[in-house]
């Protein structure tokens, strides 16, 4: 009943290049994302399903849909993946039928046009509106808004550009573009002011159109609200101008629920080709429940055994407390929430199978982070650099750390596992965070 006998990781888990887990909107727009492969490895979260359902209802004029969506979550929280998922289904009706089957909200909707702009594209000379017009094959129609001076198209101009067949429009990672734009002079103002006006007019236009869905990333995140202080006030002005207008008419969607079981579903589908059968999972859960009952009988804990049984079934092959411990440091500056957890657990799973420790485990636990593996140790140090010395002295240093010496004397791994567990519970760098574990 071990992990190795019941589960098979995907080949991609063992790839040396961990960047394979990251897809950009540009990659999708260039046609470099394969639809079937994407959905084979990506879980349909409730947020993504809501986006797909309401977008296609709107585009098919079947009612109960929406035209503007605001994806709100920290960096690495699934916003771009949700956009790519919607875009793939919009472009390919056959893929849509295969992936959604009876859940397809618009079975008669044909192929949709899909265009977008990535806020990292600061070098595009025609602004956001020039790029969108070019992708639609209507660059001439917006030429006067691009040259000789960039100027903001009004709502009617946007309607004329976007009219026609069903269209999905993505605006991803705009904060870095706006941070750049406030430093680019345009006439007597700057590109930030012009872009803010153009996008506000776009939101107004799309809200009145039945053939267009606009999906944009949350502009209120903190990742770009620090840094160059001389740009801060202007950047905030630009973000506020767009955010207030978009929030007035947009449907807010959180791609991944941070408090539910979606993280486990995402990790299962992304990292494993084969997962144990429900019968086998139940046997693992029963073993944990029985061990918990024994602990309660010995007055070691007051946790309900039945609760643990249910949580193991929901989280398998991961320990059910993994989400809570990850939640302690997911707000760390620079940590990319869902994406960061996927990358870390990719490394852990690869190590468990390569070292054959998976043959001795029935769940992937929070203490299965081997800090003597260079890439895992580097990832942990990135999450909280201030603990690097403590890790080397106390937890893992090729057998010379304090707990490794204790394990050597005792002939087991208890001290190392306990220390790693406390470490994972202490990685938060946010002010006022609770470190460590309750007794």
Going from N- to C-terminal start, the domains of the chain cover 46-253, 262-424
- Average model confidence (pLDDT) across the chain: 85
Asked if pLDDT for residue 421 goes beyond 70, the answer is: yes
| Between 222 and 276, residue with greater pLDDT | 276
d(CA 339, CA 354): 23
For the chain, what is the radius of gyration of the CA atoms? 25
- The domain 46-253 having CATH identifier 3.40.50.300: the answer here is yes
Q: How confident is the model at residue 263 (pLDDT cuts 50, 70, 90)?
A: confident
pTM: 0.82
Predicted local distance difference test score (pLDDT) of residue 201: 87
Q: How confident is the model at residue 399 (pLDDT cuts 50, 70, 90)?
A: very high
Alpha-carbon separation of residue 305 from 309, 314, 320, 418 (angstroms):
6, 15, 13, 22
| Between 407 and 231, residue with greater pLDDT | 407
Asked if pLDDT for residue 88 goes beyond 80, the answer is: yes
Q: How confident is the model at residue 302 (pLDDT cuts 50, 70, 90)?
A: confident
Predicted local distance difference test score (pLDDT) of residue 238: 39
Beta-carbon contacts of 398 under 8 Å, excluding residues fewer than 6 positions away, are 372
Residue 54 · residue 106 · CB < 8 Å: no
Predicted local distance difference test score (pLDDT) of residue 340: 83
Angle value at C-alpha 86, between 22 and 174, nearest 5 degrees: 60
Asked if pLDDT for residue 252 goes beyond 90, the answer is: no
Residue among 423, 265, 231, 287 nearest 341 (CA) = 265
Please give the order of strands across the beta sheet that includes 251-253.
Answer: 113-118, 167-172, 212-217, 68-71, 251-253
Q: What is the mean pLDDT of residues 42-53?
A: 90
Helix (H) or strand (E) holding 251: strand 251-253
Q: What is the mean pLDDT of residues 169-197?
A: 84
């Amino acid at each position: 009943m071990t992990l190795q006998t019941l589960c098979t990781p995907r080949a991609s888990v063992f790839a040396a290049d961990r960047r394979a887990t990251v897809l950009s909107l540009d990659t999708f727009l260039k046609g470099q994302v394969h639809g079937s492969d994407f959905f084979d490895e990506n879980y349909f979260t409730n947020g993504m399903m809501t986006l797909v359902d309401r977008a296609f209802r709107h585009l098919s004029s079947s009612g109960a849909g929406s035209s503007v969506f605001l994806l709100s979550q920290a960096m690495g929280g699934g916003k771009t993946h949700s956009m790519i998922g919607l875009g793939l289904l919009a472009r390919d009706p056959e893929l849509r039928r295969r992936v959604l089957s009876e859940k397809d909200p618009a079975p008669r909707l044909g192929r949709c046009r899909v265009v977008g702009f990535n806020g990292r594209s600061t070098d595009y000379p025609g602004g956001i509106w020039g790029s969108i017009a070019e992708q639609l094959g209507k660059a001439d129609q917006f030429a006067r808004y691009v040259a000789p001076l960039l100027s903001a198209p009004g709502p009617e101009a946007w309607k004329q550009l976007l009219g026609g067949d069903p269209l999905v429009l993505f605006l991803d990672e705009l904060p870095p573009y706006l941070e750049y734009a406030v430093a680019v002079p345009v006439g007597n103002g700057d590109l930030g002011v012009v872009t803010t006006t153009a996008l506000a007019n776009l939101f107004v236009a799309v809200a009145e159109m039945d053939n267009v869905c606009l999906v944009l990333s949350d502009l209120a995140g903190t990742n770009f609200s620090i840094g160059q202080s001389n740009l801060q006030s202007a950047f905030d002005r630009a973000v506020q101008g767009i955010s207030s207008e978009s929030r007035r008419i947009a449907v807010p969607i959180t791609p991944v629920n941070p408090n539910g079981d979606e993280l486990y579903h995402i990790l299962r589908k992304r990292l494993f080709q084969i997962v144990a059968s429900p019968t086998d999972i139940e046997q693992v859960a029963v073993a944990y429940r029985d061990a918990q009952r024994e602990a309660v009988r010995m007055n070691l804990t007051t946790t309900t055994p039945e609760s643990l049984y249910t949580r193991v079934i929901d989280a398998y092959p991961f320990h059910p407390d993994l989400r809570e411990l990850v939640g302690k440091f997911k707000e760390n500056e620079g940590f990319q929430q869902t994406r960061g957890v996927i990358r870390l657990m990719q490394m852990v799973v690869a190590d468990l199978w390569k070292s054959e420790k998976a043959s001795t485990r029935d769940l992937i636990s929070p203490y299965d982070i081997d800090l003597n593996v260079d890439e895992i140790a580097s990832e942990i140090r990135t999450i909280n650099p201030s603990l690097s010395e403590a890790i080397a002295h106390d937890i893992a240093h090729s057998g010379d750390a304090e707990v490794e010496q204790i394990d050597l004397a005792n002939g087991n791994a208890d001290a190392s596992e306990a220390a790693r567990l406390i470490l994972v519970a202490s990685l938060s760098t946010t002010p006022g965070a609770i470190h460590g574990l309750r007794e």
